[in-house]
Amino acid sequence: MTSHLKVSVVIPALDEEQEIGQCLASLARQIFGDFVVIVVDNGSKDATVSIARTFGALVVHEPRQGVSYARETGFQAARSDIIVSTDADTEVPQNWLQRIHRTFVEDPNVVAVFGPYWYKPFFPRSGLASALIPHLSRALMFGQRMSWKFGHPYFSAANSAVRREAFLKAGGFRSSKDGQIYSDWEDVQLGMKLHRIGKVCYLPDLVVLTSARNLKLANARDILFGTPKKALRVQVMGKDL
Protein backbone atom coordinates (compact mmCIF):
# COMPACT_ATOMS: atom_id res chain seq x y z
CA MET A 1 0.00 0.00 0.00
CA THR A 2 2.95 2.33 0.64
CA SER A 3 5.54 0.75 -1.64
CA HIS A 4 5.50 3.57 -4.21
CA LEU A 5 6.37 6.18 -1.60
CA LYS A 6 9.91 7.02 -0.53
CA VAL A 7 9.21 7.49 3.19
CA SER A 8 6.85 6.08 5.82
CA VAL A 9 6.44 7.93 9.13
CA VAL A 10 5.43 5.68 12.03
CA ILE A 11 3.68 7.13 15.10
CA PRO A 12 2.51 4.92 17.99
CA ALA A 13 -0.47 6.35 19.86
CA LEU A 14 -2.56 5.58 22.92
CA ASP A 15 -5.20 8.13 23.95
CA GLU A 16 -3.31 11.00 22.34
CA GLU A 17 -6.19 13.28 21.34
CA GLN A 18 -4.60 16.20 23.18
CA GLU A 19 -1.29 16.00 21.30
CA ILE A 20 -1.50 14.06 18.05
CA GLY A 21 -3.23 16.81 16.08
CA GLN A 22 -0.23 19.12 16.52
CA CYS A 23 2.12 16.32 15.52
CA LEU A 24 0.18 15.52 12.33
CA ALA A 25 -0.21 19.21 11.50
CA SER A 26 3.57 19.61 11.58
CA LEU A 27 3.89 16.67 9.19
CA ALA A 28 1.29 18.21 6.88
CA ARG A 29 3.58 21.26 6.56
CA GLN A 30 6.57 19.27 5.31
CA ILE A 31 8.51 20.55 2.30
CA PHE A 32 9.16 16.94 1.29
CA GLY A 33 5.92 15.43 0.05
CA ASP A 34 6.61 11.82 -0.94
CA PHE A 35 5.59 10.12 2.30
CA VAL A 36 2.79 8.36 4.16
CA VAL A 37 1.95 8.58 7.86
CA ILE A 38 1.18 5.36 9.73
CA VAL A 39 -0.48 5.82 13.11
CA VAL A 40 -0.43 2.69 15.24
CA ASP A 41 -3.40 2.74 17.59
CA ASN A 42 -2.54 0.88 20.78
CA GLY A 43 -6.09 0.68 22.11
CA SER A 44 -7.20 4.32 22.34
CA LYS A 45 -10.54 5.09 23.97
CA ASP A 46 -10.58 8.74 22.91
CA ALA A 47 -10.60 10.54 19.54
CA THR A 48 -7.03 9.60 18.58
CA VAL A 49 -8.05 7.42 15.63
CA SER A 50 -10.57 9.86 14.18
CA ILE A 51 -8.05 12.72 14.40
CA ALA A 52 -5.43 10.59 12.65
CA ARG A 53 -7.85 9.76 9.83
CA THR A 54 -8.83 13.42 9.50
CA PHE A 55 -5.20 14.14 8.62
CA GLY A 56 -5.16 11.30 6.09
CA ALA A 57 -3.00 8.93 8.12
CA LEU A 58 -3.11 5.19 7.61
CA VAL A 59 -4.28 3.69 10.91
CA VAL A 60 -3.22 0.19 11.96
CA HIS A 61 -4.11 -1.44 15.26
CA GLU A 62 -1.92 -3.21 17.79
CA PRO A 63 -3.92 -4.79 20.64
CA ARG A 64 -0.88 -5.74 22.73
CA GLN A 65 -0.25 -2.92 25.18
CA GLY A 66 3.15 -1.27 25.02
CA VAL A 67 4.90 1.23 22.80
CA SER A 68 7.50 -1.35 21.73
CA TYR A 69 4.76 -3.56 20.28
CA ALA A 70 3.20 -0.56 18.55
CA ARG A 71 6.47 0.53 16.97
CA GLU A 72 7.24 -2.98 15.75
CA THR A 73 3.78 -3.27 14.17
CA GLY A 74 4.10 0.12 12.50
CA PHE A 75 7.56 -0.55 11.12
CA GLN A 76 6.48 -3.94 9.81
CA ALA A 77 3.48 -2.31 8.11
CA ALA A 78 5.71 0.22 6.33
CA ARG A 79 6.76 -0.66 2.80
CA SER A 80 8.82 2.39 1.92
CA ASP A 81 12.60 2.22 1.57
CA ILE A 82 12.98 4.63 4.50
CA ILE A 83 11.04 4.36 7.76
CA VAL A 84 10.93 7.46 9.94
CA SER A 85 9.92 7.45 13.59
CA THR A 86 8.38 10.09 15.83
CA ASP A 87 5.95 10.27 18.75
CA ALA A 88 2.39 11.52 18.98
CA ASP A 89 3.38 14.31 21.37
CA THR A 90 6.17 15.59 19.11
CA GLU A 91 6.26 18.40 16.55
CA VAL A 92 8.79 18.39 13.71
CA PRO A 93 10.26 21.24 11.61
CA GLN A 94 9.18 21.81 8.00
CA ASN A 95 12.43 20.47 6.55
CA TRP A 96 12.52 17.39 8.77
CA LEU A 97 11.76 14.74 6.16
CA GLN A 98 13.69 16.61 3.48
CA ARG A 99 16.87 16.55 5.57
CA ILE A 100 16.44 12.92 6.57
CA HIS A 101 15.78 11.75 3.01
CA ARG A 102 18.70 13.77 1.63
CA THR A 103 21.09 12.24 4.17
CA PHE A 104 20.24 8.75 2.99
CA VAL A 105 20.44 9.70 -0.69
CA GLU A 106 23.81 11.45 -0.38
CA ASP A 107 25.47 8.56 1.43
CA PRO A 108 24.41 4.99 0.54
CA ASN A 109 26.42 3.70 3.51
CA VAL A 110 24.09 5.40 6.01
CA VAL A 111 21.68 2.85 7.51
CA ALA A 112 20.12 5.13 10.12
CA VAL A 113 19.75 8.80 11.03
CA PHE A 114 18.79 10.40 14.32
CA GLY A 115 18.63 13.83 15.88
CA PRO A 116 17.97 15.53 19.22
CA TYR A 117 14.74 16.59 20.82
CA TRP A 118 13.96 19.56 23.00
CA TYR A 119 11.19 19.66 25.55
CA LYS A 120 8.29 21.97 24.92
CA PRO A 121 7.82 24.52 27.72
CA PHE A 122 5.13 24.00 30.32
CA PHE A 123 2.15 26.31 30.35
CA PRO A 124 1.80 28.14 32.63
CA ARG A 125 5.55 28.58 32.96
CA SER A 126 5.95 27.75 36.63
CA GLY A 127 7.42 25.13 38.88
CA LEU A 128 10.80 23.47 39.16
CA ALA A 129 10.29 21.18 36.15
CA SER A 130 9.55 24.15 33.90
CA ALA A 131 12.71 25.92 35.06
CA LEU A 132 14.80 22.82 34.41
CA ILE A 133 13.50 22.12 30.90
CA PRO A 134 16.14 24.10 28.95
CA HIS A 135 18.95 22.53 31.01
CA LEU A 136 17.57 19.02 30.54
CA SER A 137 17.25 19.58 26.80
CA ARG A 138 20.86 20.72 26.53
CA ALA A 139 22.02 17.81 28.66
CA LEU A 140 20.18 15.34 26.44
CA MET A 141 21.73 16.84 23.32
CA PHE A 142 25.22 16.72 24.85
CA GLY A 143 24.69 13.12 25.92
CA GLN A 144 23.51 12.10 22.46
CA ARG A 145 26.48 13.72 20.76
CA MET A 146 29.05 12.20 23.11
CA SER A 147 27.57 8.70 23.13
CA TRP A 148 27.42 8.75 19.31
CA LYS A 149 31.09 9.79 19.09
CA PHE A 150 32.05 6.87 21.31
CA GLY A 151 30.11 4.40 19.20
CA HIS A 152 27.04 4.07 21.42
CA PRO A 153 24.29 6.02 19.62
CA TYR A 154 21.51 7.20 21.95
CA PHE A 155 18.81 6.63 19.35
CA SER A 156 15.51 8.42 19.99
CA ALA A 157 12.24 7.20 18.49
CA ALA A 158 10.98 10.79 18.60
CA ASN A 159 13.49 11.78 15.92
CA SER A 160 15.05 8.98 13.90
CA ALA A 161 14.93 7.06 10.64
CA VAL A 162 16.22 3.78 9.23
CA ARG A 163 16.51 2.04 5.91
CA ARG A 164 13.82 -0.65 5.90
CA GLU A 165 16.32 -3.24 4.73
CA ALA A 166 18.59 -2.47 7.69
CA PHE A 167 15.68 -2.54 10.15
CA LEU A 168 14.71 -6.04 9.00
CA LYS A 169 18.33 -7.20 9.01
CA ALA A 170 18.75 -5.95 12.59
CA GLY A 171 15.68 -7.86 13.71
CA GLY A 172 13.60 -4.80 14.45
CA PHE A 173 12.59 -4.04 18.03
CA ARG A 174 13.27 -7.62 19.06
CA SER A 175 16.10 -9.04 21.10
CA SER A 176 18.72 -10.76 19.00
CA LYS A 177 19.10 -13.24 21.86
CA ASP A 178 15.57 -14.58 22.32
CA GLY A 179 13.49 -12.81 19.66
CA GLN A 180 11.25 -11.12 22.22
CA ILE A 181 10.05 -7.53 21.83
CA TYR A 182 12.11 -5.18 23.99
CA SER A 183 10.34 -4.16 27.20
CA ASP A 184 11.99 -0.73 27.40
CA TRP A 185 14.36 1.52 25.50
CA GLU A 186 13.41 -0.20 22.26
CA ASP A 187 14.69 2.77 20.24
CA VAL A 188 18.12 2.88 21.90
CA GLN A 189 18.56 -0.87 21.54
CA LEU A 190 17.61 -0.72 17.86
CA GLY A 191 20.19 2.03 17.41
CA MET A 192 22.90 -0.14 18.93
CA LYS A 193 22.12 -2.99 16.52
CA LEU A 194 22.04 -0.64 13.54
CA HIS A 195 25.44 0.75 14.55
CA ARG A 196 26.86 -2.76 14.20
CA ILE A 197 25.35 -3.11 10.72
CA GLY A 198 26.44 0.15 9.11
CA LYS A 199 26.84 3.90 9.41
CA VAL A 200 24.56 5.75 11.83
CA CYS A 201 24.44 9.49 11.23
CA TYR A 202 23.69 12.08 13.93
CA LEU A 203 22.17 15.42 12.82
CA PRO A 204 22.57 17.76 15.82
CA ASP A 205 20.79 20.69 14.16
CA LEU A 206 17.68 18.73 13.17
CA VAL A 207 15.73 19.30 16.38
CA VAL A 208 12.15 18.25 17.15
CA LEU A 209 9.98 19.47 20.03
CA THR A 210 8.42 16.92 22.35
CA SER A 211 6.12 17.09 25.33
CA ALA A 212 7.60 17.50 28.81
CA ARG A 213 4.62 15.74 30.37
CA ASN A 214 6.82 13.00 31.83
CA LEU A 215 8.98 15.47 33.72
CA LYS A 216 7.19 15.09 37.00
CA LEU A 217 8.52 14.79 40.52
CA ALA A 218 7.40 11.16 40.60
CA ASN A 219 9.70 10.41 37.66
CA ALA A 220 12.71 12.27 39.06
CA ARG A 221 14.31 9.17 40.59
CA ASP A 222 14.04 7.23 37.32
CA ILE A 223 15.41 10.15 35.31
CA LEU A 224 18.36 10.73 37.65
CA PHE A 225 19.23 7.15 38.55
CA GLY A 226 17.33 4.82 36.22
CA THR A 227 18.62 6.30 32.98
CA PRO A 228 22.35 5.85 33.81
CA LYS A 229 21.66 2.27 34.91
CA LYS A 230 19.86 1.48 31.67
CA ALA A 231 22.63 3.13 29.64
CA LEU A 232 25.25 1.05 31.44
CA ARG A 233 23.29 -2.16 30.87
CA VAL A 234 22.47 -1.55 27.20
CA GLN A 235 25.30 0.57 25.81
CA VAL A 236 28.26 -0.67 27.84
CA MET A 237 27.41 -4.20 28.98
CA GLY A 238 25.45 -5.06 25.81
CA LYS A 239 22.51 -6.57 27.68
CA ASP A 240 18.84 -6.34 26.69
CA LEU A 241 15.97 -4.67 28.49
pLDDT confidence of residue 177 = 86
pLDDT confidence of residue 213 = 74
pLDDT confidence of residue 2 = 43
pLDDT confidence of residue 142 = 61
- For residue 108, the number of C-alpha atoms closer than 13 Å in the C-beta half-sphere is 0
Dump pLDDT digits (tens) for 194-224: 999 999 999 999 999 998 776 654 454 555 5
Alpha carbons 58 and 127: distance in angstroms, whole number: 39
Q: Please give the average pLDDT of every successive group of 10 residues along the chain, which has 241 residues.
A: 74 97 98 97 98 98 97 97 97 97 95 90 54 62 63 82 97 92 90 92 92 62 55 57 51
Alpha carbons 98 and 107: distance in angstroms, whole number: 14
Alpha carbons 106 and 21: distance in angstroms, whole number: 32
Dump pLDDT digits (tens) for 149-181: 666 667 889 999 999 999 999 999 999 888 999
CATH architecture of residue range(s) 7-236: Alpha-Beta Complex (3.90)
| Interstrand relation of 90-91 and 7-13 (parallel, antiparallel or unpaired) | unpaired
Sketch the domain layout of the chain as residue ranges.
7-236
